Amino acid sequence: MIECIQLTVDFGNGEGIRNITTHFYEGDFTLLLGPTGCGKSTLMRIMYMDILPTRGYITIRHWDSRKISKRQILKLRQGIGIIFQDFRLIENLSVFENVALPLIMTGQPRKNIFERVQAILDEIGLLNTWHQKAGSLSGGEKQRVAIARAIVKKPFLVLADEPTGNLDPEAANTVFELLKKINALGTTVIMATHNYTLIEDCDYRRIYMENGSLVDL
Amino acid sequence: MRFTFIIKQTFINLWTARLPVLIAIFTIGISLSIVIGMGLLSYKAFTSFDMFQDKFEIEVFLHPNLTQEEIHRLQNELSDIHQIKMINFISKDEAARIFKEEFGEDIYEILDENPLPPSYHIKLYRQMTHPDIVDNVVKRISELQGVEDVKYHKEILILMEKYSRLIILVGTGIILALIIAMNVLIKNTIKLSVYARRKQIAILQQLGAGGFFIRLPYIFEGMIEGALGGAFAGFLLNLFFQLINLSVQYIFDISLVFSSSIWTVAIVAGAIIGIFSSSRAAKSFMYLFAKEDY
């Protein structure tokens, strides 16, 4: 479903990724592992076409980085849920508004938005905080809101870039469990992490990166 | 819900940057009141000149002893001058009647005779009322046999021609300069607004929001700033009209009427300038700042 062929991104300062050829399969949970600065985030950014490869190409479902338009990139992103280490919530909006944002911007009816957001917030255990400003939440709560925002639009793919990087072990575990649950419901999840303790007991597919390239272990 | 969200964002933006917004509204108000004031002045100058051109006449006084035949010949000669649109003959008796109408006195009772000469009142085509053309026409008429004197308001014609053009030119210049200034001002407040919300814009872009969805709150913000500036301009113009009326109505029997349509024009003009400036600003700055951050 996601095909990376000789993906190369050159930032001109020695950083970037080089000749990555791999596949990510529908419904899989894939762990992208490697030290900080090895290119995991760059690979993720290519997946939601925030940056386009300098050489090689990536295809995600029917979208091809070689011939994708700006409008198609927006469509692609509407089908992908993205979770960041720094949460990237709009802090002066309420929890409800943050989670509802992907539905609001695609013009969903008010009733659907309320029902869907309520169900998701209930599922992640944050229904009682729906009216609070996102900025007033703890790190763990913020990341759960970010996950809720990522899955509210029922994406076909969830990209989680170091989602537990800023969290204590307990909150990190909660977030990881939530991602597992999302995957169990059929959504493809790709998670970049260097938190090896968190993933030591799971048998998900692992891809290792180092200095911008894939590493065979 | 999308619209509610956009409107809410607009007011959050306005509230967050309330000081620059307030400064922008006041400055737009002052600029717009000058723009509309200059516009009204230019319009007034143009219509006055237009009215003057419409009423402009050359009076051709004839020798008092001309025969009917000579008068008729002279009328034919005048008709041959292509700049002339209309010729109206005023006989001695008619001149006396006009005199009585205008001064309330019968010329025969004052002087026992009628010294008023017969005359032609001549109107030129509107485009032929330039002082140089009128001068040429007058020269030609003066040379005709039987013409004693030719009179017209030469000084007024020259003044009107000179100053109406000047007012229109200066007015247009000032209007353009102030419109550019307002555009820059609104652009700057939107730039501040976009910069303050650059992270939010980047997040929305990452979530797949379209450019229009992101830009719309800023466009509304510019529109509201412009419209409020326009309302303030209307208030200033109203005040100005009242002050002028207070100071001149005891001297001259005139009063300026502040029409409510000036409010409408000011608000609509402000809103249009606001929409135009903010949409351009939001488009150019949102990608610039959002990319800087994430």
CATH architecture of A2-210: 3-Layer(aba) Sandwich (3.40)
- The per-residue pLDDT for A95 is 95
Name B143's Cβ contacts closer than 8 Å, sequence gap at least 6: none
Domain residue ranges of chain B, discontinuous segments joined by +: 2-51+159-293, 57-152
Out of B1, B199, B207, name the one closest to residue A77 (CB).
B207
Tokens of A39: 């290119």
Is 70 exceeded by the pLDDT of residue B254? no
Is 60 exceeded by the pLDDT of residue B31? yes
Cβ A102–B213 below 8 Å, yes or no? no
Instruction: Look at residue A8 and give its three-state secondary structure.
Output: strand
- Report residue B66's pLDDT band, with 50, 70 and 90 as the boundaries: confident
- Long-range pairs for B78-83 at CB < 8 Å and ≥24 separation? B78/B120, B78/B122, B78/B141, B78/B144, B81/B137, B81/B140, B81/B141, B83/B124, B83/B125, B83/B128, B83/B133, B83/B137
**What angle is formed at CA B208 by the lines to CA B203 and CA B211, rounded to 5 degrees?**
85
The burial class, CB within 10 Å (0-12 / 13-18 / 19+), for A117 is: buried
Tokens of A7: 């993906």
- The per-residue pLDDT for A157 is 95
String of DSSP letters for chain B: -HHHHHHHHHHHHHHHTHHHHHHHHHHHHHHHHHHHHHHHHHHHHHHHHHHHHHH--EEEEEPTT--HHHHHHHHHHHHT-TTEEEEEEE-HHHHHHHHHHHHS--HHHHHSS--PPPEEEEEE-GGG-SHHHHHHHHHHHHTSTTEEEEE--HHHHHHHHHHHHHHHHHHHHHHHHHHHHHHHHHHHHHHHHHHHTHHHHHHHHHHT--HHHHHHHHHHHHHHHHHHHHHHHHHHHHHHHHHHHHHHTTTSS------HHHHHHHHHHHHHHHHHHHHHHHHHHHHHHHHHH-
**To the nearest whole number, what is the mean pLDDT of chain B?**
84
Is 70 exceeded by the pLDDT of residue B256? no
What mean pLDDT comes out for the span B71-84?
88
Minimal Cα–Cα distance from B203 to chain A, Å?
6
- The per-residue pLDDT for A206 is 93
Determine contact: B210 vs chain A, CB below 8 A: yes
- The per-residue pLDDT for B56 is 85
Cβ A48–B207 below 8 Å, yes or no? no
Residues above pLDDT 90, as percent of chain A: 64
What kind and span of H or E run contains A110?
helix A110-123
- The per-residue pLDDT for A22 is 94
- The per-residue pLDDT for A217 is 58
Return the higher-pLDDT residue of A143 and B260: A143
Out of B12, B204, B206, name the one closest to residue A92 (CB).
B12
- Report residue B53's pLDDT band, with 50, 70 and 90 as the boundaries: confident
Over residues B79-134, the pLDDT tens digits come to 888 888 889 988 888 888 888 888 887 877 777 778 888 899 999 887 888 888 98
Over residues A175-206, the pLDDT tens digits come to 899 899 999 999 999 999 988 888 888 889 99
* Best residue of A104, A114, A142 to probe chain B, by most B CBs closer than 10 Å: A104
Is 70 exceeded by the pLDDT of residue A1? yes
Determine contact: B104 vs chain A, CB below 8 A: no
The answer to whether the CB of A51 falls within 8 A of the CB of A3 is no
Pairing of strands A188-193, A157-161: parallel
Name A194's Cβ contacts closer than 8 Å, sequence gap at least 6: A33, A34, A35, A36, A162
* Rounded CA separation B263/B230 (Å): 7
Name B74's Cβ contacts closer than 8 Å, sequence gap at least 6: B62, B66, B120, B144, B145, B146, B147
- The per-residue pLDDT for B255 is 58
The ipTM estimated for the assembled molecules is 0.85
- The per-residue pLDDT for A21 is 94
Q: Searching chain B, which residue's CA lies closest to the CA of residue A158?
A: B207
Over residues A63-104, the pLDDT tens digits come to 999 999 988 999 999 999 999 988 899 988 999 999 999 999
What mean pLDDT comes out for the span B159-179?
82
Task: Return the half-sphere exposure (C-beta side, CA atoms, 13 A cut-off) of residue B103.
Answer: 11
Cβ B208–A110 below 8 Å, yes or no? no
Q: DSSP secondary-structure letter at A4?
A: E
Determine contact: B199 vs chain A, CB below 8 A: yes
Alpha-carbon distance values, A68 to A59, A72, B281 (Å):
10, 6, 27
What mean pLDDT comes out for the span A1-10?
92
- The per-residue pLDDT for B253 is 55
Q: Searching chain A, which residue's CA lies closest to the CA of residue B216?
A: A105
What is the CATH topology of the domain spanning B57-152?
Alpha-Beta Plaits (3.30.70)
Domain residue ranges of chain A, discontinuous segments joined by +: 2-210
* Rounded CA separation A18/A4 (Å): 11
Over residues B131-148, the pLDDT tens digits come to 889 899 999 998 888 888
* Rounded CA separation B71/B73 (Å): 5
In chain A, DSSP assigns E strands to 2-10, 16-24, 29-33, 55-60, 63-64, 80-84, 157-161, 188-193, 205-210, 213-215
Of B56, B75, B74, the residue nearest B128 (C-alpha) = B56
What mean pLDDT comes out for the span A45-62?
93
Out of A76, A77, A104, name the one closest to residue B1 (CB).
A104
- The per-residue pLDDT for B232 is 94
Of B4, B104, B137, B284, the residue nearest A109 (C-alpha) = B4
Q: How many CB atoms lie within 10 A of CB B247?
A: 9
The answer to whether the CB of A143 falls within 8 A of the CB of A83 is yes
- The per-residue pLDDT for B267 is 93
- The per-residue pLDDT for B251 is 59
